[in-house]
Amino acid sequence: MIRDIVLYGHPALRAKGIRIARVDDSVRQLAVDMLETMEDAAGVGLAAQQVGVPLQLTVVDISCVEDRPSRMWVDGREVDPLGHMPLILLNPQLEPGGEKESGQEGCLSFPEITAEIVRPSRAKVDAVDLEGHPVVFECDGLLARALQHEVDHLHGVLFIDRMNSATRAGLTGRLKRLKRDNS
């Protein structure tokens, strides 16, 4: 089922995700719905907060983006990221690393707004899937960026918090309107 994506101004976006202690039918259904919702919206990632549920759950799929490469390593061995999509990550721990780099980001909770955001170029991820199996890997490129963006959501942090002040100032009017319309 496709769920409604909440927009900036909705309080769920500032809520910290609760750790998922047990995977029950409602968590499984939420994950399936989030995959469907992300695909329908042509997004590369979606956090539970964005469908109004403050849980530590995110889905990511970079396979629809062809012009922004990513690399992925499992146990130190490089693997094809496309063979691991979509990712369903519960309680992810993320350790960013590497050089900082700027890249364009959008967010399904901020329609039509994109901005250059500086983030570390790599990320180490330690999570579990719906079966409780560990999902542990390192990555770079778009995948590392998408994961940092989504794990931020799980802690109530939004990409506008990561914008430099000039970029954010340029968006003030649009952000105010969005917030007013969704609070």
- Catalytic positions, written as ranges: 150
Q: How far is the CB of 152 from Zn ion (least distance, A)?
A: 8
Q: How far is the CB of 45 from Zn ion (least distance, A)?
A: 7
Burial classification of residue 75, based on how many CB atoms lie within 10 Å of its CB (0-12 exposed, 13-18 middle, 19 or more buried):
exposed
Q: Which is nearer to Zn ion, 122 or 153 (CB)?
A: 153
Q: Which is nearer to Zn ion, 38 or 107 (CB)?
A: 107
Q: Which is nearer to Zn ion, 138 or 150 (CB)?
A: 150
Enter the DSSP assignment of 5. Answer: P
Site for Zn ion in 106-135 (CB under 5 A): 107
Name which of 92, 139, 137 is nearest 120 in CA terms. Answer: 139
Q: How far is the CB of 34 from Zn ion (least distance, A)?
A: 12
Name which of 160, 144, 154, 135 is nearest 51 in CA terms. Answer: 154
Q: How far is the CB of 10 from Zn ion (least distance, A)?
A: 12
The interface region with Zn ion, picked from 89-97, 105-113, 162-170, 173-181 by CB under 5 A, is: 105-113
Q: Which is nearer to Zn ion, 72 or 107 (CB)?
A: 107
Q: How far apart are CA 105 and CA 103, in angstroms?
A: 6
The interface region with Zn ion, picked from 10-18, 62-70, 100-108, 115-123 by CB under 5 A, is: 100-108
The interface region with Zn ion, picked from 14-22, 77-85, 104-112, 140-148 by CB under 5 A, is: 104-112
Two tokens at 122?
A: 């790599």
Measuring CA to CA, how many Å separate 113 from each of 5, 81, 106, 155? 15, 27, 6, 21
Sequence-separated (6 or more) residues with CB below 8 Å from residue 34: 3, 46, 48, 51, 57, 58, 59
Contact residues toward Zn ion (CB under 5 A) are 107
